[in-house]
Amino acid sequence: MKWLGTLKYRKIRPLGSGRGRVGLQSSTGPPPRLQDRFAVSIDANLRLFEQMFGQDVDFVLRRFQVAIGGRWVRCGLLYFVETSSKSDLNEVLRALMVEQAAPPAADVVETVVARCLPYADVTVKDTPQAAVEWLLAGNSLLLLDGCVQAVGLNTQAYKERAISEPETEQVIQGSREGFIESMGTNVSLLRKRLRSKDLRIRLVQLGRRTTTNVVYCYLESLANPQLVQEVERRLRLVDTDALFGSGYLEQFIEDNHYSPFPQIQNTERPDKAVAAMLEGRVVIVVDGSPFALIVPAVFSQFYQAAEDYDTRFLMASMTRGIRLLALLFSLVFPSLYVSLISFNPEMIPTKFEVAVASGRAGVPFPAIAEIFGLELVMEVLREATVRLPQQIGGALSIVGVLVVGEAAVRAGFVSPIAVVIVAMTTIGSFATPAYNAAIALRMLRFPLMVLAGIFGLYGVMVGLILICNHLNGLESFGVPYLSPIVPADAQGLKDTVVRMPVWSLQRRPKGLQPQDVDRVATDSDKLSRQKTSPLAPQHSQAQASWQAAQNAAEAGDKAGQDGQGGAGDLRPTGVGVTGGESAPQPDRAAEPAAPEAPSKRRQPRQRTRKRRNQEAGEDT
């Protein structure tokens, strides 16, 4: 092995140092240093932008002249082809070509902004740095000769997808609108649902190279001022080259970076973000990301769905309880199986134990290896299903679950009960609405299984105690993670495990310390008294009309019986007793219409009854 010491490593030569090699040379040189102010000459200003963007294929510099106050002023219009609207730029150029009258001493920039530009969003940039940032955002710049300012035109026209239903938070009953990658569209969706003068939207630009726009939204009359200051402070502390999305920002501003549980909630639903602001929370929207961040977040938020508040409270409470049960299944079911099979089989009922023993008769692996291997295979299948195209992913999941599982049972690698346990665990993890919370539970299953395989039920209990202790120590922007359970809040518990009626949620969460605590001012007793009040007047009127018709019918029957004139007199009504002349008819218009029908129906019955009585008297 002495020859190892004789090896000599060749030094890496820099580019262009060898024979016949040409080093990489920059044709443009270093980027120019931006001055604090614009130059008076337009040539110097245009040269500055040409040095920065002149080699870019999508950069356009349009030189022209405008007539203002009887003199010609040289101008330059700068924009990027695919990020600015050509129709808007043509409108601007058409307006500038018209001669404008102005005093000789008038400021050219003020004259152009006030008289020449038929455009709503126009701003004036005082420094080259602000002008460059405005241009890189997809807008256009107008430079004028003899002016130390630039006119910014909002001609941004990025291509964006249409508003569609959120993919990760689909509901049966509720809104179908979701956030997209455009921050302007997302802010407009918030404005659409929250038409309040107290809504505040503050802009922060993060990323030294990407200059990503980030806005945080809150209600000034509800959110705690200290919470708003803390959110702004953490955003200002983010110092990075690039900010690509909301998930990237979440890792910078969360409290505990090593916890598996998420301390910031993300959502694609504008209605969910508005509901969070109405509770006193702050919503953060990042340009280029369809997910908004909600701070602070507590544990109970991650198993609540948006449609819980669009359905009746009994159904919402039932579905929420099912989610909690599925959450427990996905966390402790595999570890309970391992501990009962390996350490405490006496706790299993006899018939069930016989079935489990017969199923595990030919399995060569212990319970911990069996469950652990199945969970790993299931995670691989889940990851493969997510990464593959949608048409192939569904087929792969079916093949992996049915074919591979059945083949493993027939080969004797695993028992049927183990496949059932893993399947129930996987289904339980799918029932969790929040994807990031479901990942945390999937991660914690494996250490719980290891503890169960070593210590049995004691290991499971120790693991659960450690998890609860960790949750109890977590905070999100100063709010306890387990609130409103710990510390207890009576009003908050109405919307935790169960969801009480909306009219009973009269106060906002106590842990957020909002400025306005009252949320619902409707009295429950008043609601109960109003259950029959809309139909009560109509019901009383109908009852009175029906009673009047019954009384008129009884009066008509009695009048018919009195007008028959004795037994056997079957002459029709209206024929006189003497002379065959018609008796004077009563005014039928004055009589109610209801009693006529019953009297005509009942008179023949009365006559028939009298005939029978007469015939019975003759027989006797």
Provide the sign of the torsion angle of the four alpha carbons 228, 229, 232, 235, taken in this order: negative
DSSP string over 359-375: HTTT--S-HHHHHHHHH
The b-or-e profile of 529-543 (16+ CB within 10 A means b, else e) is: eeeeeeeeeeeeeee
Alpha-carbon distance values, 427 to 434, 442, 480 (Å):
14, 12, 30
pLDDT in the model for residue 430: 86
Domain boundary among 427, 456, 482: 482
Residue 616 belongs to some domain of the structure: no
pLDDT in the model for residue 1: 46
> Do 327 and 460 share a domain, yes or no?
yes
Residue 47's nearest CA partner among 138, 128, 112 is: 128
Burial class (CB in 10 A: 0-12, 13-18, 19+), 383: exposed
- For residues 213 and 201, the answer to whether their CB atoms sit within 8 Å is no
Supply 105's token pair: 């001493």
Alpha-carbon distance values, 289 to 83, 180, 231, 243 (Å):
18, 7, 19, 10
Please state, in angstroms and rounded to a whole number, the distance separating the CA atoms of residues 292 and 132: 28
Alpha helix (H) residue ranges in 152-284: 183-193, 225-237, 246-253, 270-278
> Do 131 and 103 share a domain, yes or no?
yes
pLDDT in the model for residue 404: 80
Cβ atoms within 10 Å, residue 114: 13
Residues of the chain with pLDDT under 70: 1-33, 103-105, 391, 393-399, 523-546, 560-620
Domain boundary among 234, 262, 297: 297
Residue 325 belongs to some domain of the structure: yes
Please state, in angstroms and rounded to a whole number, the distance separating the CA atoms of residues 189 and 268: 11
Supply 478's token pair: 């100063």
pLDDT in the model for residue 70: 78
Say how many Å lie between the first and final Cα of the chain, rounded: 147
pLDDT in the model for residue 8: 44
> Do 147 and 192 share a domain, yes or no?
no
The H or E element that residue 282 is part of is strand 282-286
**Domain range enclosing 135:** 42-153
Pair type for strands 475-476 and 282-286:
unpaired
Residue 577 belongs to some domain of the structure: no
> Do 431 and 350 share a domain, yes or no?
yes
> Do 320 and 292 share a domain, yes or no?
no
pLDDT in the model for residue 249: 95
Angle 536-562/596-619 helices, nearest 10 degrees? 40
> Do 337 and 473 share a domain, yes or no?
yes
Three-class SS of residue 60? strand
Number of domains in the chain: 3
pLDDT in the model for residue 121: 81
Residue 359's nearest CA partner among 417, 423, 420, 421 is: 417
> Do 329 and 463 share a domain, yes or no?
yes
> Do 277 and 243 share a domain, yes or no?
yes
Residue 338 belongs to some domain of the structure: yes
Residue 351 belongs to some domain of the structure: yes
Residue 276 belongs to some domain of the structure: yes
Residue 80's nearest CA partner among 109, 102, 49 is: 49
pLDDT in the model for residue 173: 84
Residue 505 belongs to some domain of the structure: no
> Do 117 and 195 share a domain, yes or no?
no
Residue 2 belongs to some domain of the structure: no
> Do 357 and 471 share a domain, yes or no?
yes
> Do 290 and 326 share a domain, yes or no?
no
pLDDT in the model for residue 582: 43
Domain boundary among 482, 500, 531: 482
> Do 57 and 119 share a domain, yes or no?
yes
